[in-house]
Amino acid sequence: MSHWITNELCALTKENLDLLIDFKIPGIIVKNFLPKAFCQEVDRRLCETSFGNYDHLKEIPVHHLGVCHNQWCRDEKSVYFGMIDEAQKQIDDIYQALNIDPVQEVISALSNEGGYPAEVFEEEGFGKYFAGAFRSFKGHGRLHVDHAPTHIEKPWAVTEISKQLTWNIYYSVHNGGGELVIYDTIHTPENEPMKVSNDYYFPYEVLENEVCVRVQPEIGDLILFNTQNFHEILGQPEATRISQTSFIGLRNDGSLGLWS
Ligand SMILES: O=C(O)CCC(=O)C(=O)O
Ligand SMILES: [Fe+2]
């Protein structure tokens, strides 16, 4: 069964954000969301910083700067929240004197153009989550979904969401390859058991049809999609692709909460 009413990425409006939440469109794009010169300077600074490891994932050749909740969600909450200040400081150093805070820009766009109140997620008794990790990526990000209520077994605030989206801003891309492919197949409790055991990805047999969009991001683009749609990244083994990202959860009060 096909869900999408178009095979194109759409503009950021309240109507389209509603359609994205309902799996009716493949994604949303804002071209030149951040100035290219800003992205190139951030990319230069990031390449001088050593990216941290993301070594809980065996198959994704990815390094990151910032804290990724998935990596720490099985530990005591104090472990994750204990790392945020230091991570935020590293990120703030990257933007230093550039006068743009991309995460705030995304929050403003979600509320001004997207018509949804948005803020960084909070955990009672611990404070704000971290949002806006940078990723340096090589190779193939295999077919997967991201859905905190399914994948996180402990009671964190980010599991109290009815839908999960993501935003990505691209800082360096490669010419040819590096496409993001989003499929018109939705993750469900019925297809979850097809996930490769002890790993994050699914076999292609999970796809219900061939319908997909292939997006070749450009520097400065903002792309939103629903992470409960299966997706993969067709990277190149030798070339690096740098992006910044966080998840976006639709909360029970109708607002959006961000976390990485
Ligand atoms: O890097 C990308 O284009 C997409 C990354 C991804 O899998 C996600 O945002 O959930
Ligand atoms: Fe993903």
CATH number at residue 138: 2.60.120.620
Q: Is the CB of 243 under 6 A from ligand 1?
A: yes
Q: How far apart are CA 226 and CA 163, in angstroms?
A: 8
Q: Report if residue 214 sits inside a domain.
A: yes
Cβ atoms of 174 and 255 closer than 8 Å = no
Beta-carbon contacts of residue 114 (< 8 Å; ≥ 6 apart): 12, 13, 14, 17
Cβ atoms of 202 and 194 closer than 8 Å = yes
Q: How far apart are CA 78 and CA 207, in angstroms?
A: 38
Express as a percent the part of the chain with pLDDT over 70. 94
Q: Give the tokens for residue 201.
A: 């990805």
Q: Report if residue 186 sits inside a domain.
A: yes
Q: Report if residue 121 sits inside a domain.
A: yes
Give the model's pLDDT for residue 58: 43
Domain boundaries, position 221? 14-259
Q: Report if residue 5 sits inside a domain.
A: no
Q: How far apart are CA 52 and CA 66, in angstroms?
A: 8
Burial of 178-201, coded b for 16+ CB within 10 Å and e otherwise, reads bbbbbbbbebeeebeeebeeeebb
Beta-carbon contacts of residue 145 (< 8 Å; ≥ 6 apart): 187, 202, 227, 228, 229, 230, 231
pLDDT in tens, 59-88: 445 678 899 999 999 999 999 999 999 999
Q: Is the CB of 260 under 6 A from ligand 1?
A: no
Q: Report if residue 9 sits inside a domain.
A: no
- Whether 56 has a pLDDT exceeding 70, the answer reads no
Q: Report if residue 94 sits inside a domain.
A: yes
Q: Report if residue 4 sits inside a domain.
A: no
Summarize the confidence of residues 4-24 as an average pLDDT. 98
Specify the number of domains making up the chain. Answer: 1
From 63, 144, 166, give the residue whose CB has the most ligand 1 atoms within 8 Å, as the site to mutate.
Answer: 166
What average pLDDT is seen over the chain? 92
Summarize the confidence of residues 229-258 as an average pLDDT. 92
Read off the pTM.
0.93
Q: Report if residue 99 sits inside a domain.
A: yes
pLDDT in tens, 137-169: 888 899 999 999 999 999 999 999 999 999 999
